[in-house]
Amino acid sequence: MMIWEIKNLLRRFVGRQAIPNPTKVAHTADVRKALAQPNSSMPGIQQDSQLTAFVERAQKRPVTLSSRELFSLNGHPLPCWREEDVGAVDNWLTSDDYYPLYYRLFQELSLHFSRPRMLEIGVRTGYAGVAFARGIKGPRTYIGVDPNLYLPDGLDRARKTFKELRSIDRDFEFNCLFGYSENPRVQKQLRSLAPFDIIHIDGDHTMPGKLVDLELCHQLINSSGFVLVDDYYYIPDVVQEAVGRAFNLGWYSKYCIVNTFRGMALLQK
């Protein structure tokens, strides 16, 4: 077992203590079928030309904000900003190819929807949500789901951050849900809020967890919506493999790779 897998299991165990007797949803027949699939051949599947062109347009947009600027308001860091994340592991937080690129992707996505609604599975402190809120103008809604697995105050930081953004922009609506995306109660809430135009998957990084999220998001996404799957390069044994199995089973019909700092798969039904 790899080191990141051991850490992930420990974090999942510790994080679950925050939810007394958490209820796990039994895997659906489709998820069980995906788990039984042999290793996928995702790298050999052709990337969709329209999605690729969309990504290229987003990448050509000028970089107007650094990470520090993106996560600041009136010169002061937003509550989502953790100085401890700066320089951690691989300097992911300050890379122009991470959240500043997300910001440009959301700018480009805004051309497809008049009142975009985003779901994020795995909020951390709200970094991706801020990129969405600031990258898109006009009426927009963000829904985040997180069990405070990695950071015990993650959702609190996210809520405070989004409240500050809403205080200066009443077109921005948000709701942060505490829990696991595999939990029946949470899934029921999400289905009542669906469909979504944009979904960002950055939650459970085990194979079963990633497949549960990919199947769930297949049900929740708008027919013309976009599903973004983070860490495509960073944890390929799970993320690339799960995306490949979901693609091969027909949950999604189009995909391309976005060369963010840790890689992202962009999917459509």
Q: Do 81 and 71 form a contact (C-beta atoms < 8 A)?
A: yes
Could you check whether the bond before residue 195 is cis, i.e. omega within 30 degrees of 0? yes
Beta strands 254-258 and 196-201 are unpaired
Instruction: Provide the Cα torsion 199, 269, 212, 258; round to 10°.
Output: -60
pTM for this prediction: 0.90
Q: For each of the chain's 269 residues, which pLDDT tens digit applies? A: 444 344 444 444 443 333 433 445 689 999 999 999 988 766 677 899 999 999 999 999 999 999 999 999 999 999 999 999 997 677 899 999 999 999 999 999 989 999 999 999 999 999 999 999 999 999 999 999 999 988 999 999 999 999 999 999 999 999 999 999 999 999 999 999 999 999 999 999 999 999 999 999 999 999 999 999 999 999 999 999 999 999 999 999 999 999 999 999 999 99
Residues 6 or more apart in contact with residue 242 via CB below 8 angstroms: 34, 207, 210, 211, 214
CA 104 → CA 109, 135, 156, 187, distances in Å?
Answer: 9, 7, 26, 29
DSSP 8-class letter at 157: H
Domains parsed from the chain with CATH numbers = 48-268 (3.40.50.150)
Whole-number Å distance between alpha carbons of 41 and 48: 16
